[in-house]
Amino acid sequence: MFKRITGTKDILPGEVSAWQRIEEIARNTFPLYNYKEIRLPLIEEAALFNRSLGEEAEVVKKQMFLIQRDHDTLALRPEATASVVRSYIENSLDKVQGFAKFYYIGAMFRAERPQRGRLRQFHHIGCEAIGSAQPQLDAEIISLADKLLKNFSVSGHRIRINSLGCPDDKKKLTQILKKSLGDNTSKLCQDCQERFQGNILRILDCKNESCKEIVAKLDIGQKHLCGACIGHFRQVTTVLDMLGVEYIVDDHLVRGLDYYTRTVFEISHPGLGAQDAIGAGGRYDNLVKQLGGSDQPAVGFAFGVERVLLVSADKVQGVSDKLVYIIPLGEEARQESMILLNELRQQGICADTDYLGKSLKGAMRQADSMGVKYAVIIGDNELKNKTVMLKNMKSGEQKELGRTALVKELSGN
C-alpha cells in the first residue's frame, strides 16, 4: 500500500468545505482592496529563491525541494513573493502599470520536520503590492491581514511589528547585535553560533531556551534606524492607530528571509502551540531591482492556510444540505430515477440516488447520515400515479407530488 509523503496531507471531501470557505472569503476580500489574483508555477529555477531569500536563509539552506534536470536546478516553490516579483519583471508589468497589487492562493513546499501546523506541503493565501514606498501602503497591508483574519472568524491573534530599516540600517543592526552578543557567543546553541557568522538577525527568534534568555536581555530599540526609516515607521503606526488596528511594536522581531527592509510584521495565535505564526510579511524595497527589474519598492504578506483553519472558530461541516436524494424502490423505479435526476440537475438542483439497491429503511438511513434535506421516494404507487413522494428529512413531513410540482418545490432551496 502506498502512503502519502511525510508532511503532506490529503484534504478529504469532508474537510474541503472549510477550505472553500476560507478561499472564498479571501477571494471576496482582496478585490475590496483592489488586489488581483495571480496564478504562478509551482516550480521555478532554484536560483530565484537563493537570490531572493538569501543563501543563508534556513529555507534555502535546508528546506528547498530541489529537482535536478539536465543542467537545470529547479525548486518546488517554498514561498510566492519571489515568484510574483519574477513574473512582474518577466511580463514587464513595471513598464505597463508600475504600481500593481496581486493576491495568490496555493501550495508551497518546505522540507521541514513536520509537526502540528508545520507541513512539507502547505498553503499560502498572500498578497503583494509592488511599486510604492508609501508607509500608508504598509498600513493597508497590515490592516488587510487583520481584516482577513477577522473575516476567517479568527480572534485572539497578536500582530507584532518592527522596522529593520534600509540596507544601511540593517548593516548597523548587524553590527549592534555582533557587539552586544559578543561575550555570549559561546553560550548560544550550535545553530546560532553558525548564524552569528552568516545570518545574525535570526538569533533573535531562535526557539532554544538559553538563546531566548540571552536575546531577551538585549536592548535593541531603534538605534539602527536612520531618520527616514524612523519617519516611515512612525507613519505606519499612526495610520494603524487611525484604523483601529491593534499591534505591538517588538524590536526583537526579525524575519528569516533576506529580502525584507523597513517594516516587518508577524501575526501569532496562542491556539497554535509551538508553531504560533499564522502569517507574516513586510517590505522588500530592493528585491525587484535585485532580480533585474526597475527600482520598485514593495510590501506583502502571507498566511498559512492550515494554521488559519486550526484556529478559525467557524468549523464548517461537509454536510450535503443542498442535495436531493432519490430513493428508487425496484428495477423500474431505478430506471425512472435516472430521468428525474437528469431533470433536477438541468434545473440546477444538486441530486443523487442510491446506487447500492438498499431497502427503503437503509436508503433513508444513508440520506440521514449524509445530512440531506429532502429525499424523493419512487415506489410502485408513485410509478403508477406518475408522481414521487417528497420527504423533508428534518421535519419528517411527506407529500406526493407530480414532477413539475416537485421541481418547483425544490427550486427554491
Contact assessment for residue 393 and residue 402, using Cβ atoms and an 8 Å cutoff? no
CA-CA distance, 382 to 128, in Å (whole number)?
A: 59
What is the nearest approach in angstroms of ligand HAM to the Cβ of residue 303? Answer: 6
Residues forming the site for ligand HAM (CB under 6 A): 79, 81, 110, 112, 117-119, 122, 124, 126, 128, 277-282, 300-304, 306-307
Looking at the Cβ atoms of 131 and 282, the one nearer to ligand HAM is: 282
Q: How far is the CB of 113 from ligand HAM (least distance, A)?
A: 9
Instruction: Return all residues near 100 (Cβ < 8 A) that are at least 6 apart.
Output: 36, 88, 93, 129, 130, 131
* Closer CB to ligand HAM, 27 or 322, in the complex: 27
DSSP string, 117-178: TB-SEEEEEEEEEES---HHHHHHHHHHHHHHHHHTT--S-EEEEEE--SHHHHHHHHHHHH
Least distance in Å: CB of 82 to ligand HAM? 8
Q: Which residue lies nearer to ligand HAM by CB, 304 or 328?
A: 304
- For ligand HAM, the closer of residues 81 and 337 by Cβ is 81
Nearer to ligand HAM, 301 or 325 (CB): 301
User: Given the complex with ligand HAM, which of 135 and 282 has the nearer CB atom?
Assistant: 282
CB of 229 to ligand HAM, least distance (A): 18
Phi–psi pair at 67, nearest 5 degrees: -125, 120
Nearer to ligand HAM, 118 or 157 (CB): 118
In this structure, what C-alpha cell is assigned to residue 378? 419512487
**Lookup: cell for 38:** 495571480
Going by C-alpha positions, the residue among 5, 71, 96, 80 that lies closest to residue 37 is 80
The residues, ordered by sequence, that sit 6+ positions from 68 with a Cβ below 8 Å of its Cβ are 74
Nearer to ligand HAM, 103 or 196 (CB): 103
> How far apart are the C-alpha atoms of 37 and 89, rounded to whole Å?
17
Partner residues linked to 126 by β-bridges: 104, 302
Pairing of strands 298-304, 277-283: antiparallel
Tell me how far, at minimum, the Cβ of 384 lies from ligand HAM, in Å: 59
Which 8-state DSSP code applies to residue 57? S
Output the smallest distance, CB 137 to ligand HAM, in A.
Answer: 12
- Shortest CB 301 distance to ligand HAM, Å: 5
Backbone angles phi, psi at 378, to 5 degrees: -120, 110
In DSSP terms, which residues pair with 78 in a beta bridge? Answer: none
Phi, psi dihedrals of residue 364, rounded to the nearest 5°: -65, -40
Which DSSP string corresponds to 296-317? --EEEEEEEHHHHHHH-S----
> In this structure, what DSSP letter does residue 37 have?
E
In the bound state with ligand HAM, the residue whose beta carbon lies nearer, of 40 and 383, is: 40
Q: Could you tell me the smallest distance in angstroms from the CB atom of residue 333 to ligand HAM?
A: 50
